[in-house]
Amino acid sequence: MPLRETRKTPEGSWGLSDQEVAVDVALDSPDKVSSTGLIGLLWARPAVQIMTFAVLMALAAQVRIPVPGTHVPMTLQSLVMLLAGFLLAPRIAGGAMFLYLVSGTVFTGLFAGTMGIFGPTGGYLVGFVAASVAIAAIRGRSLSIVRLSEAGLLGLLILFVAGTAWNAAWLGSWKLALATGVLPFIAKALVQLIMAITLCRILGNAGHSRRA
Protein backbone atom coordinates (compact mmCIF):
# COMPACT_ATOMS: atom_id res chain seq x y z
CA MET A 1 0.00 0.00 0.00
CA PRO A 2 1.49 3.39 -0.96
CA LEU A 3 2.31 5.92 1.69
CA ARG A 4 -0.46 8.47 2.10
CA GLU A 5 -0.77 11.90 3.60
CA THR A 6 -3.87 13.86 4.47
CA ARG A 7 -4.88 17.33 3.48
CA LYS A 8 -7.83 19.25 4.89
CA THR A 9 -10.41 20.78 2.64
CA PRO A 10 -11.13 24.53 2.86
CA GLU A 11 -13.03 25.43 5.99
CA GLY A 12 -16.76 25.01 5.59
CA SER A 13 -16.61 22.73 2.52
CA TRP A 14 -19.45 20.22 2.69
CA GLY A 15 -20.23 21.70 6.08
CA LEU A 16 -17.28 19.78 7.61
CA SER A 17 -14.32 22.05 8.27
CA ASP A 18 -12.19 19.10 9.46
CA GLN A 19 -12.99 16.77 6.57
CA GLU A 20 -9.78 15.11 5.39
CA VAL A 21 -9.11 13.85 1.90
CA ALA A 22 -6.53 11.07 1.44
CA VAL A 23 -3.98 12.10 -1.20
CA ASP A 24 -1.34 9.73 -2.57
CA VAL A 25 2.20 11.01 -2.09
CA ALA A 26 3.10 9.93 -5.62
CA LEU A 27 0.64 12.20 -7.46
CA ASP A 28 2.65 11.69 -10.62
CA SER A 29 1.56 8.04 -10.61
CA PRO A 30 -2.20 8.02 -11.32
CA ASP A 31 -2.39 4.25 -10.85
CA LYS A 32 -1.46 4.73 -7.20
CA VAL A 33 -4.27 7.17 -6.51
CA SER A 34 -7.63 5.65 -5.65
CA SER A 35 -10.65 6.98 -7.54
CA THR A 36 -12.25 8.07 -4.27
CA GLY A 37 -9.14 9.96 -3.24
CA LEU A 38 -8.87 11.61 -6.64
CA ILE A 39 -12.50 12.76 -6.59
CA GLY A 40 -12.01 14.07 -3.07
CA LEU A 41 -8.88 15.93 -4.12
CA LEU A 42 -10.67 17.55 -7.05
CA TRP A 43 -13.71 18.48 -4.96
CA ALA A 44 -11.46 20.13 -2.36
CA ARG A 45 -10.64 22.83 -4.89
CA PRO A 46 -12.88 25.92 -4.47
CA ALA A 47 -12.99 26.48 -8.23
CA VAL A 48 -14.48 23.02 -8.76
CA GLN A 49 -17.09 23.62 -6.05
CA ILE A 50 -18.04 26.99 -7.53
CA MET A 51 -18.36 25.68 -11.08
CA THR A 52 -20.29 22.59 -9.95
CA PHE A 53 -22.98 24.56 -8.16
CA ALA A 54 -23.16 27.18 -10.92
CA VAL A 55 -23.90 24.38 -13.38
CA LEU A 56 -26.44 22.86 -10.99
CA MET A 57 -28.21 26.22 -10.77
CA ALA A 58 -28.35 26.44 -14.56
CA LEU A 59 -29.78 22.93 -14.79
CA ALA A 60 -32.30 23.63 -12.01
CA ALA A 61 -33.53 26.67 -13.96
CA GLN A 62 -34.52 24.41 -16.83
CA VAL A 63 -37.10 22.68 -14.62
CA ARG A 64 -39.82 25.30 -15.03
CA ILE A 65 -43.43 24.89 -14.01
CA PRO A 66 -45.58 27.88 -14.98
CA VAL A 67 -47.79 29.21 -12.19
CA PRO A 68 -51.15 30.68 -13.32
CA GLY A 69 -51.50 34.37 -12.55
CA THR A 70 -47.79 35.05 -12.07
CA HIS A 71 -44.72 35.51 -14.25
CA VAL A 72 -42.52 33.70 -11.68
CA PRO A 73 -42.13 29.99 -12.54
CA MET A 74 -41.51 27.18 -10.08
CA THR A 75 -37.98 25.75 -10.39
CA LEU A 76 -35.50 23.71 -8.38
CA GLN A 77 -33.15 26.65 -7.93
CA SER A 78 -34.07 27.30 -4.30
CA LEU A 79 -33.09 23.71 -3.53
CA VAL A 80 -29.68 24.13 -5.15
CA MET A 81 -29.15 27.47 -3.40
CA LEU A 82 -29.96 25.91 -0.03
CA LEU A 83 -27.56 23.03 -0.68
CA ALA A 84 -24.81 25.46 -1.65
CA GLY A 85 -25.28 27.31 1.63
CA PHE A 86 -25.40 24.08 3.64
CA LEU A 87 -22.41 22.39 2.01
CA LEU A 88 -20.00 25.18 1.09
CA ALA A 89 -18.11 27.96 2.80
CA PRO A 90 -19.79 31.41 2.54
CA ARG A 91 -17.40 32.83 -0.05
CA ILE A 92 -17.62 29.69 -2.17
CA ALA A 93 -21.41 29.47 -1.99
CA GLY A 94 -21.69 33.14 -2.92
CA GLY A 95 -19.11 32.67 -5.66
CA ALA A 96 -21.12 29.85 -7.21
CA MET A 97 -24.31 31.91 -7.23
CA PHE A 98 -22.46 34.95 -8.59
CA LEU A 99 -20.91 32.87 -11.37
CA TYR A 100 -24.37 31.65 -12.30
CA LEU A 101 -25.66 35.23 -12.22
CA VAL A 102 -22.91 36.47 -14.52
CA SER A 103 -23.18 33.47 -16.85
CA GLY A 104 -26.94 33.85 -17.09
CA THR A 105 -26.59 37.55 -17.90
CA VAL A 106 -24.48 36.61 -20.91
CA PHE A 107 -26.49 33.52 -21.84
CA THR A 108 -30.07 34.38 -20.84
CA GLY A 109 -31.26 30.84 -21.55
CA LEU A 110 -29.65 29.83 -18.24
CA PHE A 111 -32.27 31.85 -16.33
CA ALA A 112 -35.79 30.68 -15.59
CA GLY A 113 -37.20 34.10 -16.54
CA THR A 114 -36.96 35.12 -20.18
CA MET A 115 -35.66 38.63 -19.35
CA GLY A 116 -33.15 37.44 -16.78
CA ILE A 117 -31.75 39.93 -14.31
CA PHE A 118 -33.26 42.81 -16.26
CA GLY A 119 -36.79 41.46 -15.86
CA PRO A 120 -39.27 41.32 -12.96
CA THR A 121 -37.65 38.16 -11.54
CA GLY A 122 -34.17 39.73 -11.38
CA GLY A 123 -34.45 40.26 -7.63
CA TYR A 124 -34.54 36.53 -7.03
CA LEU A 125 -31.35 36.09 -9.04
CA VAL A 126 -29.54 38.69 -6.93
CA GLY A 127 -31.15 37.20 -3.83
CA PHE A 128 -29.56 33.81 -4.56
CA VAL A 129 -26.12 35.33 -3.98
CA ALA A 130 -26.96 37.09 -0.72
CA ALA A 131 -29.06 34.23 0.63
CA SER A 132 -26.44 31.54 -0.03
CA VAL A 133 -23.75 33.56 1.77
CA ALA A 134 -26.06 34.15 4.75
CA ILE A 135 -27.03 30.48 4.95
CA ALA A 136 -23.42 29.31 4.92
CA ALA A 137 -22.38 31.91 7.51
CA ILE A 138 -25.19 31.02 9.91
CA ARG A 139 -24.77 27.28 9.42
CA GLY A 140 -21.12 27.56 10.40
CA ARG A 141 -19.67 24.16 11.23
CA SER A 142 -22.93 22.66 12.43
CA LEU A 143 -25.04 20.13 10.57
CA SER A 144 -27.73 19.97 13.23
CA ILE A 145 -31.31 20.04 12.03
CA VAL A 146 -32.02 23.12 14.15
CA ARG A 147 -29.08 25.11 12.80
CA LEU A 148 -29.78 24.10 9.21
CA SER A 149 -33.43 25.03 9.62
CA GLU A 150 -32.56 28.45 11.04
CA ALA A 151 -30.05 29.15 8.29
CA GLY A 152 -32.36 27.90 5.56
CA LEU A 153 -35.37 29.89 6.74
CA LEU A 154 -33.34 33.09 6.94
CA GLY A 155 -31.92 32.44 3.49
CA LEU A 156 -35.39 31.92 2.03
CA LEU A 157 -36.55 35.12 3.74
CA ILE A 158 -33.69 37.05 2.14
CA LEU A 159 -34.54 35.52 -1.23
CA PHE A 160 -38.22 36.44 -0.97
CA VAL A 161 -37.48 39.98 0.23
CA ALA A 162 -35.06 40.62 -2.64
CA GLY A 163 -37.42 39.09 -5.18
CA THR A 164 -40.48 40.92 -3.87
CA ALA A 165 -38.76 44.32 -3.73
CA TRP A 166 -37.58 43.95 -7.33
CA ASN A 167 -40.97 42.64 -8.44
CA ALA A 168 -42.79 45.49 -6.70
CA ALA A 169 -40.65 48.03 -8.54
CA TRP A 170 -41.74 46.46 -11.81
CA LEU A 171 -45.41 46.05 -10.95
CA GLY A 172 -45.75 49.26 -8.96
CA SER A 173 -47.51 47.44 -6.13
CA TRP A 174 -46.19 45.60 -3.07
CA LYS A 175 -49.50 43.83 -2.64
CA LEU A 176 -49.43 42.49 -6.19
CA ALA A 177 -45.76 41.54 -5.84
CA LEU A 178 -46.52 39.49 -2.72
CA ALA A 179 -49.52 37.85 -4.36
CA THR A 180 -47.60 36.83 -7.47
CA GLY A 181 -44.07 36.30 -6.17
CA VAL A 182 -44.36 34.99 -2.62
CA LEU A 183 -47.67 33.44 -1.60
CA PRO A 184 -47.80 30.81 -4.38
CA PHE A 185 -44.25 29.65 -3.56
CA ILE A 186 -44.15 29.37 0.24
CA ALA A 187 -45.18 25.71 0.36
CA LYS A 188 -42.72 24.80 -2.39
CA ALA A 189 -39.90 26.62 -0.60
CA LEU A 190 -40.58 24.77 2.66
CA VAL A 191 -40.64 21.41 0.87
CA GLN A 192 -37.33 22.20 -0.79
CA LEU A 193 -35.89 23.25 2.57
CA ILE A 194 -36.81 19.86 4.03
CA MET A 195 -35.26 18.14 1.01
CA ALA A 196 -32.05 20.18 1.33
CA ILE A 197 -31.70 19.45 5.04
CA THR A 198 -32.26 15.74 4.43
CA LEU A 199 -29.68 15.59 1.63
CA CYS A 200 -27.19 17.60 3.67
CA ARG A 201 -27.56 15.28 6.66
CA ILE A 202 -27.13 12.21 4.46
CA LEU A 203 -23.99 13.60 2.85
CA GLY A 204 -22.63 14.72 6.21
CA ASN A 205 -23.20 11.31 7.81
CA ALA A 206 -21.63 9.62 4.80
CA GLY A 207 -18.57 11.82 5.18
CA HIS A 208 -18.22 10.92 8.85
CA SER A 209 -18.63 7.22 8.06
CA ARG A 210 -15.84 7.29 5.48
CA ARG A 211 -13.47 8.86 8.02
CA ALA A 212 -14.42 6.46 10.83
Q: Coil, strand or helix: which one is 88? A: coil
3-state helix, strand, coil split of the chain in percent (to 5) is: 70, 5, 25
Q: Which of 179, 166, 83 is nearest to 132 (CA)?
A: 83
Name the residue among 127, 117, 151, 158 with its Cα closest to residue 137: 151
Instruction: Please state, in angstroms and rounded to a whole number, the distance separating the CA atoms of residues 47 and 52.
Output: 8
pLDDT tens figures, 33-63: 454 454 555 566 889 999 999 999 999 988 8
Q: Identify the sign of the CA torsion 37, 42, 43, 46.
A: positive
pTM: predicted TM-score of the whole model, two decimal places: 0.77
| 63-78 tens-digit pLDDT | 888 888 887 888 999 9
Dihedrals phi, psi of 95, to nearest 5 degrees: -65, -40
45, 128, 40: which is closest to 80 by C-alpha?
128
For residue 103, pLDDT beyond 70 = yes
pLDDT band at 19 (very low <50, low <70, confident <90, very high): very low
What domains, with CATH codes, occur in the chain?
Answer: 46-211 (1.10.1760.20)
Interatomic CA distance for residues 167 and 155, integer angstroms? 18
